Structure 1
Amino acid sequence: MPSRPAERTDAAAWRAAAPEVELWLDHDPAARALPGYALGHRTLSGPAQEEVTELHRAGVRCLRLTAPVRLCADAPAASARALMLLREATGQGLAVLWQAVCTDGCAAQRRFHHLYPPERLTGDGAPQDVLADWRATYYPSKCVVRRGPGFVEVRDRRFGTLELFTIDEPGHLAQLDALAEGVELGMLPEAVHRDLAGAGLIAEQAGRAWFLPMRVRRWPFPSLTV
Protein backbone atom coordinates (compact mmCIF):
# COMPACT_ATOMS: atom_id res chain seq x y z
CA MET A 1 0.00 0.00 0.00
CA PRO A 2 1.54 3.38 -0.96
CA SER A 3 2.64 5.49 1.96
CA ARG A 4 1.13 8.90 2.51
CA PRO A 5 3.24 12.04 2.71
CA ALA A 6 4.38 12.89 6.20
CA GLU A 7 2.78 15.76 8.06
CA ARG A 8 4.43 19.13 7.66
CA THR A 9 7.43 19.63 9.90
CA ASP A 10 7.76 23.07 11.48
CA ALA A 11 11.03 24.96 11.26
CA ALA A 12 12.11 24.19 14.83
CA ALA A 13 11.49 20.46 14.42
CA TRP A 14 13.31 20.49 11.08
CA ARG A 15 16.39 22.10 12.65
CA ALA A 16 16.26 19.67 15.57
CA ALA A 17 16.23 16.64 13.25
CA ALA A 18 19.99 16.82 12.72
CA PRO A 19 21.77 13.65 11.53
CA GLU A 20 24.18 11.94 13.91
CA VAL A 21 27.27 10.45 12.30
CA GLU A 22 30.37 8.48 13.18
CA LEU A 23 33.55 9.70 11.47
CA TRP A 24 36.85 8.23 10.25
CA LEU A 25 39.93 9.50 8.43
CA ASP A 26 39.90 6.58 5.96
CA HIS A 27 37.29 4.42 4.25
CA ASP A 28 39.26 1.16 4.42
CA PRO A 29 37.97 -1.09 7.26
CA ALA A 30 41.51 -2.06 8.29
CA ALA A 31 42.58 1.58 8.45
CA ARG A 32 39.47 2.56 10.41
CA ALA A 33 40.53 0.14 13.14
CA LEU A 34 43.93 1.81 13.58
CA PRO A 35 44.54 4.18 16.51
CA GLY A 36 43.78 7.79 15.70
CA TYR A 37 41.64 7.11 12.62
CA ALA A 38 38.29 7.18 14.41
CA LEU A 39 37.00 10.67 15.15
CA GLY A 40 33.97 9.69 17.19
CA HIS A 41 30.37 10.76 16.89
CA ARG A 42 29.04 14.15 15.90
CA THR A 43 25.63 15.74 15.36
CA LEU A 44 25.61 17.76 12.13
CA SER A 45 23.06 20.47 12.74
CA GLY A 46 24.17 22.94 10.06
CA PRO A 47 23.43 23.05 6.33
CA ALA A 48 24.52 19.79 4.67
CA GLN A 49 26.79 21.48 2.13
CA GLU A 50 28.69 23.44 4.79
CA GLU A 51 28.96 20.46 7.14
CA VAL A 52 30.40 18.14 4.48
CA THR A 53 32.83 20.80 3.23
CA GLU A 54 34.16 21.24 6.76
CA LEU A 55 34.41 17.48 7.35
CA HIS A 56 36.42 17.01 4.17
CA ARG A 57 38.78 19.86 5.08
CA ALA A 58 39.31 18.19 8.45
CA GLY A 59 40.42 14.98 6.72
CA VAL A 60 37.24 12.93 7.08
CA ARG A 61 36.93 10.33 4.31
CA CYS A 62 34.25 8.03 5.72
CA LEU A 63 31.14 8.56 7.79
CA ARG A 64 28.37 6.38 9.13
CA LEU A 65 24.78 7.51 9.58
CA THR A 66 23.87 6.07 12.98
CA ALA A 67 20.10 5.82 12.35
CA PRO A 68 18.33 3.96 9.51
CA VAL A 69 17.17 6.29 6.73
CA ARG A 70 13.65 6.02 5.36
CA LEU A 71 13.36 6.67 1.61
CA CYS A 72 9.59 6.89 1.23
CA ALA A 73 7.31 9.92 0.84
CA ASP A 74 6.28 9.65 4.50
CA ALA A 75 9.89 9.82 5.70
CA PRO A 76 10.39 11.99 8.79
CA ALA A 77 12.53 15.11 8.82
CA ALA A 78 15.49 13.17 10.25
CA SER A 79 15.57 10.91 7.18
CA ALA A 80 15.15 13.79 4.75
CA ARG A 81 18.05 15.65 6.31
CA ALA A 82 20.16 12.49 6.35
CA LEU A 83 19.52 12.02 2.62
CA MET A 84 20.60 15.59 1.89
CA LEU A 85 23.76 15.00 3.90
CA LEU A 86 24.29 11.79 1.93
CA ARG A 87 23.90 13.73 -1.33
CA GLU A 88 26.62 16.18 -0.30
CA ALA A 89 28.93 13.46 1.03
CA THR A 90 28.56 11.47 -2.20
CA GLY A 91 29.36 14.57 -4.24
CA GLN A 92 32.45 15.19 -2.12
CA GLY A 93 33.71 11.64 -2.66
CA LEU A 94 33.25 10.43 0.92
CA ALA A 95 32.39 6.81 1.68
CA VAL A 96 29.10 6.55 3.58
CA LEU A 97 27.98 3.61 5.70
CA TRP A 98 24.20 3.62 6.10
CA GLN A 99 21.05 1.54 6.19
CA ALA A 100 18.00 2.35 4.05
CA VAL A 101 14.37 1.47 4.73
CA CYS A 102 11.62 1.34 2.09
CA THR A 103 8.03 0.13 2.52
CA ASP A 104 6.22 1.63 -0.48
CA GLY A 105 8.41 0.37 -3.34
CA CYS A 106 10.01 3.74 -4.05
CA ALA A 107 13.53 2.26 -3.88
CA ALA A 108 12.88 0.39 -7.14
CA GLN A 109 12.21 3.69 -8.95
CA ARG A 110 15.96 4.56 -8.76
CA ARG A 111 15.27 8.06 -7.47
CA PHE A 112 18.15 7.80 -5.00
CA HIS A 113 20.45 5.53 -7.04
CA HIS A 114 22.94 8.36 -7.61
CA LEU A 115 23.72 8.35 -3.88
CA TYR A 116 26.39 6.16 -2.29
CA PRO A 117 24.71 2.74 -1.97
CA PRO A 118 23.53 1.58 1.44
CA GLU A 119 24.93 -1.44 3.25
CA ARG A 120 21.42 -2.78 3.81
CA LEU A 121 17.98 -2.11 2.36
CA THR A 122 15.09 -3.34 4.45
CA GLY A 123 11.30 -3.08 4.44
CA ASP A 124 8.37 -4.69 2.64
CA GLY A 125 8.94 -2.51 -0.44
CA ALA A 126 12.64 -3.31 -0.73
CA PRO A 127 13.44 -6.62 -2.47
CA GLN A 128 17.13 -7.44 -2.36
CA ASP A 129 17.51 -7.27 -6.13
CA VAL A 130 16.93 -3.52 -5.79
CA LEU A 131 19.96 -3.19 -3.54
CA ALA A 132 22.01 -5.39 -5.87
CA ASP A 133 21.02 -3.17 -8.82
CA TRP A 134 21.86 -0.03 -6.83
CA ARG A 135 25.33 -1.34 -6.05
CA ALA A 136 26.01 -2.72 -9.53
CA THR A 137 24.99 0.44 -11.39
CA TYR A 138 26.37 3.09 -9.03
CA TYR A 139 29.23 5.34 -10.05
CA PRO A 140 30.25 8.88 -8.98
CA SER A 141 28.44 11.88 -10.46
CA LYS A 142 25.48 9.87 -11.75
CA CYS A 143 23.12 12.82 -11.31
CA VAL A 144 24.90 16.15 -11.10
CA VAL A 145 24.22 19.87 -11.41
CA ARG A 146 26.65 22.35 -12.96
CA ARG A 147 26.30 26.13 -12.95
CA GLY A 148 26.92 28.32 -15.97
CA PRO A 149 26.36 32.04 -16.56
CA GLY A 150 22.62 32.47 -16.21
CA PHE A 151 21.73 28.78 -16.29
CA VAL A 152 22.11 25.47 -14.50
CA GLU A 153 22.56 22.14 -16.27
CA VAL A 154 21.54 18.81 -14.76
CA ARG A 155 23.05 15.62 -16.19
CA ASP A 156 21.06 12.61 -15.01
CA ARG A 157 21.90 8.95 -15.64
CA ARG A 158 19.91 7.39 -12.79
CA PHE A 159 17.63 5.59 -15.23
CA GLY A 160 20.25 4.25 -17.62
CA THR A 161 20.41 6.84 -20.38
CA LEU A 162 21.66 10.40 -20.19
CA GLU A 163 18.95 13.00 -19.62
CA LEU A 164 19.89 16.67 -19.86
CA PHE A 165 17.92 19.46 -18.21
CA THR A 166 18.73 23.14 -18.58
CA ILE A 167 17.26 25.46 -15.97
CA ASP A 168 17.42 29.10 -17.04
CA GLU A 169 14.15 30.69 -15.89
CA PRO A 170 15.00 33.35 -13.28
CA GLY A 171 12.24 32.19 -10.94
CA HIS A 172 13.50 28.62 -11.02
CA LEU A 173 17.15 29.60 -10.56
CA ALA A 174 16.23 31.74 -7.58
CA GLN A 175 14.94 28.65 -5.73
CA LEU A 176 17.84 26.26 -6.26
CA ASP A 177 20.05 27.33 -3.35
CA ALA A 178 17.12 27.08 -0.94
CA LEU A 179 16.05 23.73 -2.41
CA ALA A 180 19.49 22.33 -1.61
CA GLU A 181 18.49 22.47 2.08
CA GLY A 182 14.74 21.97 1.70
CA VAL A 183 11.91 24.40 0.99
CA GLU A 184 8.47 24.20 2.59
CA LEU A 185 6.07 23.00 -0.09
CA GLY A 186 3.74 25.93 0.48
CA MET A 187 6.61 28.36 -0.15
CA LEU A 188 7.73 26.84 -3.45
CA PRO A 189 6.24 28.60 -6.52
CA GLU A 190 3.78 26.38 -8.35
CA ALA A 191 5.63 26.53 -11.68
CA VAL A 192 8.94 25.61 -10.06
CA HIS A 193 7.37 22.70 -8.22
CA ARG A 194 5.58 21.45 -11.33
CA ASP A 195 8.66 21.54 -13.56
CA LEU A 196 11.19 20.09 -11.12
CA ALA A 197 8.84 17.39 -9.84
CA GLY A 198 7.92 16.47 -13.40
CA ALA A 199 11.59 16.01 -14.25
CA GLY A 200 12.18 13.90 -11.13
CA LEU A 201 14.67 16.38 -9.71
CA ILE A 202 13.14 16.92 -6.28
CA ALA A 203 12.09 14.69 -3.41
CA GLU A 204 9.15 15.63 -1.19
CA GLN A 205 9.40 14.54 2.43
CA ALA A 206 8.37 15.95 5.80
CA GLY A 207 6.42 18.76 4.12
CA ARG A 208 9.47 19.99 2.23
CA ALA A 209 10.92 19.66 -1.25
CA TRP A 210 14.64 19.24 -1.70
CA PHE A 211 16.90 19.07 -4.75
CA LEU A 212 18.18 15.61 -5.67
CA PRO A 213 21.13 16.31 -8.06
CA MET A 214 24.51 16.80 -6.43
CA ARG A 215 27.04 19.51 -7.15
CA VAL A 216 30.17 18.47 -9.04
CA ARG A 217 32.99 18.66 -6.51
CA ARG A 218 35.23 15.81 -7.62
CA TRP A 219 35.14 15.07 -11.37
CA PRO A 220 35.22 11.32 -12.09
CA PHE A 221 37.44 9.57 -14.59
CA PRO A 222 36.63 9.13 -17.37
CA SER A 223 34.50 12.28 -17.36
CA LEU A 224 32.60 11.21 -20.47
CA THR A 225 30.62 8.76 -18.33
CA VAL A 226 28.86 11.72 -16.70
Structure 2
Amino acid sequence: MASSTQTQKRPDPQAKSAGKRADAQRNIAAILDAAVSTLGRTPEASVSEIAKAAGVGRVTLYGHFPNRTDLVDAAFAHAIEEGERALGQVDLDGDPRAALSRLIASSWHLVDRFRSLLLAAQSVLPASRIRELHAEPAARVERLVERGRHQGVFRTDLPTSWLVGVMHSVMHSAADEINAGRVDTDDAAAFITATVLASFTPPGEPVPR
Protein backbone atom coordinates (compact mmCIF):
# COMPACT_ATOMS: atom_id res chain seq x y z
CA MET A 1 0.00 0.00 0.00
CA ALA A 2 1.45 3.37 -1.05
CA SER A 3 2.19 5.87 1.71
CA SER A 4 -0.09 8.90 1.74
CA THR A 5 2.72 11.04 3.11
CA GLN A 6 4.56 12.83 0.30
CA THR A 7 8.25 13.48 0.55
CA GLN A 8 8.74 17.22 0.88
CA LYS A 9 11.51 18.82 -1.13
CA ARG A 10 14.06 20.47 1.10
CA PRO A 11 15.04 24.03 0.23
CA ASP A 12 18.41 24.35 -1.47
CA PRO A 13 20.64 26.56 0.74
CA GLN A 14 22.90 27.40 -2.20
CA ALA A 15 19.97 28.55 -4.34
CA LYS A 16 18.69 30.68 -1.46
CA SER A 17 22.13 32.22 -0.98
CA ALA A 18 22.46 32.89 -4.71
CA GLY A 19 19.07 34.60 -4.66
CA LYS A 20 20.13 36.85 -1.80
CA ARG A 21 23.34 37.77 -3.63
CA ALA A 22 21.36 38.59 -6.77
CA ASP A 23 18.98 40.78 -4.74
CA ALA A 24 21.95 42.52 -3.11
CA GLN A 25 23.56 43.21 -6.49
CA ARG A 26 20.32 44.66 -7.83
CA ASN A 27 20.02 46.89 -4.77
CA ILE A 28 23.61 48.08 -5.11
CA ALA A 29 23.11 48.87 -8.80
CA ALA A 30 19.89 50.77 -8.05
CA ILE A 31 21.54 52.71 -5.21
CA LEU A 32 24.56 53.70 -7.33
CA ASP A 33 22.40 54.78 -10.27
CA ALA A 34 20.20 56.80 -7.92
CA ALA A 35 23.22 58.36 -6.21
CA VAL A 36 24.78 59.42 -9.51
CA SER A 37 21.48 60.88 -10.71
CA THR A 38 20.50 62.55 -7.43
CA LEU A 39 23.93 63.97 -6.59
CA GLY A 40 24.23 65.02 -10.23
CA ARG A 41 21.26 67.32 -9.64
CA THR A 42 21.84 68.23 -6.01
CA PRO A 43 25.40 67.79 -4.69
CA GLU A 44 24.26 68.08 -1.07
CA ALA A 45 21.51 65.43 -1.44
CA SER A 46 20.98 63.35 1.69
CA VAL A 47 21.19 59.59 2.11
CA SER A 48 17.41 59.52 2.63
CA GLU A 49 16.83 61.24 -0.71
CA ILE A 50 19.12 58.80 -2.49
CA ALA A 51 17.50 55.79 -0.81
CA LYS A 52 14.05 57.04 -1.85
CA ALA A 53 15.22 57.53 -5.44
CA ALA A 54 16.67 54.01 -5.44
CA GLY A 55 13.45 52.50 -4.10
CA VAL A 56 15.14 51.03 -1.02
CA GLY A 57 15.06 51.76 2.69
CA ARG A 58 17.79 53.52 4.62
CA VAL A 59 18.64 50.27 6.42
CA THR A 60 19.22 48.52 3.08
CA LEU A 61 21.34 51.39 1.80
CA TYR A 62 23.44 51.52 4.97
CA GLY A 63 23.89 47.77 4.72
CA HIS A 64 25.89 48.35 1.54
CA PHE A 65 27.32 51.82 2.20
CA PRO A 66 27.93 52.52 5.92
CA ASN A 67 28.00 56.30 5.55
CA ARG A 68 27.40 59.09 3.05
CA THR A 69 31.10 59.48 2.26
CA ASP A 70 31.36 55.83 1.21
CA LEU A 71 28.27 56.25 -0.94
CA VAL A 72 29.59 59.39 -2.64
CA ASP A 73 32.93 57.67 -3.24
CA ALA A 74 31.21 54.65 -4.82
CA ALA A 75 28.92 56.83 -6.94
CA PHE A 76 31.83 58.91 -8.23
CA ALA A 77 33.82 55.77 -9.04
CA HIS A 78 30.75 54.34 -10.79
CA ALA A 79 30.40 57.48 -12.93
CA ILE A 80 34.08 57.39 -13.89
CA GLU A 81 33.81 53.72 -14.88
CA GLU A 82 30.85 54.60 -17.07
CA GLY A 83 32.84 57.44 -18.59
CA GLU A 84 35.80 55.18 -19.26
CA ARG A 85 33.64 52.93 -21.39
CA ALA A 86 32.65 55.94 -23.50
CA LEU A 87 36.17 57.38 -23.75
CA GLY A 88 37.50 53.99 -24.82
CA GLN A 89 35.52 54.44 -28.06
CA VAL A 90 37.21 57.74 -28.99
CA ASP A 91 39.49 57.50 -32.03
CA LEU A 92 42.95 58.61 -30.90
CA ASP A 93 44.78 57.67 -34.11
CA GLY A 94 46.25 60.14 -36.57
CA ASP A 95 47.43 63.67 -35.78
CA PRO A 96 47.82 63.88 -31.97
CA ARG A 97 46.41 67.42 -32.00
CA ALA A 98 43.22 66.35 -33.77
CA ALA A 99 43.00 63.30 -31.51
CA LEU A 100 43.38 65.56 -28.48
CA SER A 101 40.53 67.75 -29.72
CA ARG A 102 38.28 64.70 -30.07
CA LEU A 103 39.26 63.46 -26.63
CA ILE A 104 38.58 66.86 -25.07
CA ALA A 105 35.14 67.02 -26.69
CA SER A 106 34.19 63.57 -25.35
CA SER A 107 35.80 64.14 -21.96
CA TRP A 108 34.12 67.49 -21.52
CA HIS A 109 30.74 65.94 -22.27
CA LEU A 110 31.31 63.64 -19.29
CA VAL A 111 32.70 66.38 -17.03
CA ASP A 112 29.69 68.55 -17.85
CA ARG A 113 27.29 65.68 -17.19
CA PHE A 114 28.86 64.84 -13.85
CA ARG A 115 30.04 68.27 -12.71
CA SER A 116 27.57 68.44 -9.80
CA LEU A 117 28.61 64.93 -8.77
CA LEU A 118 32.21 66.17 -8.79
CA LEU A 119 31.19 68.96 -6.39
CA ALA A 120 29.67 66.34 -4.10
CA ALA A 121 32.88 64.29 -4.27
CA GLN A 122 35.11 67.29 -3.63
CA SER A 123 33.07 68.18 -0.54
CA VAL A 124 33.75 64.85 1.23
CA LEU A 125 36.70 63.12 -0.47
CA PRO A 126 40.37 64.07 -0.19
CA ALA A 127 42.07 65.39 -3.33
CA SER A 128 44.30 62.29 -3.36
CA ARG A 129 41.26 60.01 -3.70
CA ILE A 130 39.83 62.07 -6.54
CA ARG A 131 43.20 61.87 -8.33
CA GLU A 132 43.26 58.12 -7.74
CA LEU A 133 39.83 57.70 -9.30
CA HIS A 134 40.97 59.77 -12.30
CA ALA A 135 44.09 57.63 -12.80
CA GLU A 136 42.88 55.74 -15.89
CA PRO A 137 41.53 58.82 -17.73
CA ALA A 138 44.82 60.58 -16.91
CA ALA A 139 46.81 57.64 -18.28
CA ARG A 140 44.92 57.86 -21.58
CA VAL A 141 45.81 61.54 -21.96
CA GLU A 142 49.38 60.80 -20.91
CA ARG A 143 49.83 58.23 -23.67
CA LEU A 144 48.47 60.67 -26.24
CA VAL A 145 50.71 63.49 -25.00
CA GLU A 146 53.76 61.23 -25.15
CA ARG A 147 52.98 60.37 -28.76
CA GLY A 148 52.55 64.06 -29.60
CA ARG A 149 55.85 64.88 -27.94
CA HIS A 150 57.57 62.12 -29.89
CA GLN A 151 56.15 63.53 -33.14
CA GLY A 152 57.21 67.06 -32.24
CA VAL A 153 53.74 68.61 -32.11
CA PHE A 154 53.52 68.88 -28.31
CA ARG A 155 56.05 70.69 -26.16
CA THR A 156 58.84 68.76 -24.46
CA ASP A 157 60.12 71.49 -22.13
CA LEU A 158 57.46 70.64 -19.52
CA PRO A 159 56.77 67.22 -17.95
CA THR A 160 54.00 65.11 -19.41
CA SER A 161 52.38 64.85 -15.99
CA TRP A 162 52.21 68.64 -15.81
CA LEU A 163 50.53 68.90 -19.22
CA VAL A 164 47.99 66.25 -18.26
CA GLY A 165 47.29 68.13 -15.05
CA VAL A 166 46.79 71.34 -17.01
CA MET A 167 44.16 69.70 -19.19
CA HIS A 168 42.21 68.33 -16.22
CA SER A 169 42.52 71.63 -14.35
CA VAL A 170 41.13 73.55 -17.34
CA MET A 171 38.20 71.15 -17.59
CA HIS A 172 37.37 71.41 -13.91
CA SER A 173 37.75 75.19 -14.07
CA ALA A 174 35.28 75.23 -16.95
CA ALA A 175 32.82 73.30 -14.78
CA ASP A 176 33.31 75.86 -11.99
CA GLU A 177 32.75 78.74 -14.43
CA ILE A 178 29.52 77.17 -15.68
CA ASN A 179 28.31 76.59 -12.12
CA ALA A 180 29.07 80.26 -11.41
CA GLY A 181 27.12 81.34 -14.49
CA ARG A 182 30.09 82.95 -16.23
CA VAL A 183 30.38 80.48 -19.14
CA ASP A 184 27.72 78.81 -21.24
CA THR A 185 27.86 75.03 -21.50
CA ASP A 186 27.78 75.20 -25.30
CA ASP A 187 30.96 77.33 -25.37
CA ALA A 188 33.01 75.31 -22.90
CA ALA A 189 34.40 72.61 -25.20
CA ALA A 190 35.78 75.18 -27.66
CA PHE A 191 37.29 77.25 -24.84
CA ILE A 192 38.92 74.18 -23.30
CA THR A 193 40.31 72.95 -26.62
CA ALA A 194 41.78 76.36 -27.49
CA THR A 195 43.37 76.72 -24.06
CA VAL A 196 44.81 73.21 -23.93
CA LEU A 197 46.20 73.26 -27.49
CA ALA A 198 47.85 76.61 -26.76
CA SER A 199 49.39 75.13 -23.60
CA PHE A 200 50.62 72.01 -25.39
CA THR A 201 52.07 73.71 -28.49
CA PRO A 202 55.88 74.02 -28.51
CA PRO A 203 57.08 77.59 -27.81
CA GLY A 204 57.43 79.60 -31.01
CA GLU A 205 55.18 77.27 -33.02
CA PRO A 206 51.78 78.44 -34.34
CA VAL A 207 48.84 77.23 -32.30
CA PRO A 208 46.52 75.06 -34.44
CA ARG A 209 43.01 76.36 -34.95
**Does TM, normalized by the shorter one, top 0.5?**
no
From the two aligned structures, give the one with the greater strand fraction.
1
After TM superposition, the score normalised by the length of structure 1 is 0.28
The structure whose Rg is larger is: 2
After TM superposition, the score normalised by the length of structure 2 is 0.30
